[in-house]
Amino acid sequence: MGQAKAPEQVTPVASVFTADNAMFAVVESTLTDRLGPCIYQSERLPFAHTSYYEDEMGPDLTRIIFAFTKLLDPADLPSLKTWSNQLENAWSKNGSRRVNIDVGYVSLAKLVLASTKDHAHRLYLGQGIYGEVTLYYAGGEFQPWPWTYPDYASLTYRKIFGTIREQHRLKLRGQRK
């Protein structure tokens, strides 16, 4: 019989997209207040894999992916997603979001994203939040699943999360010294 033990701590990430470039600095500042300094920030990436959000948020959406210093217990993901949803609502104008904040975490084995939407490949985590293993690490790099969104499945995004994973690995190694 296996023994239950505390999980490895994880590095929190946020994938932020908006049509209002000024929102990136506001979101980053607010996230760092809770998650510690930003240890990774991608360049601005075009958000062109879907037009789903354009009616609400406008055209010309761009995304930045952030990773943060603080290590978290993976069980903290539901409260982190609930908080990020509250931020989206607080920054809304006339009932429309100005920014979308997809939170999750990177571990040595995977990228997990939080969602309020259930699906066959998502597990309920509590507080109305589901978790999805979006990428898994194998063969020295992140790999997509059949359900992985096309942007996250792209080599560009997989390399970004590989860089974050390496920073996560070094943080864990530093803890063990």
Please write the tens of the pLDDT for every residue from 138-174.
Answer: 999 999 999 999 999 999 999 999 999 999 999 999 8
What single-letter amino acid sits at 78? P
Query: Residue 175: its pLDDT value, please?
Result: 76
What tokens does 171 get? 């943080």
The CA distance from 77 to 110, in Å, is: 14
β-pairing, 38-41 vs 99-106, is: unpaired
pTM of the model: 0.95
Percent of the chain with pLDDT strictly greater than 90: 91
Its CATH architecture, for the domain 11-176, is 2-Layer Sandwich (3.30)
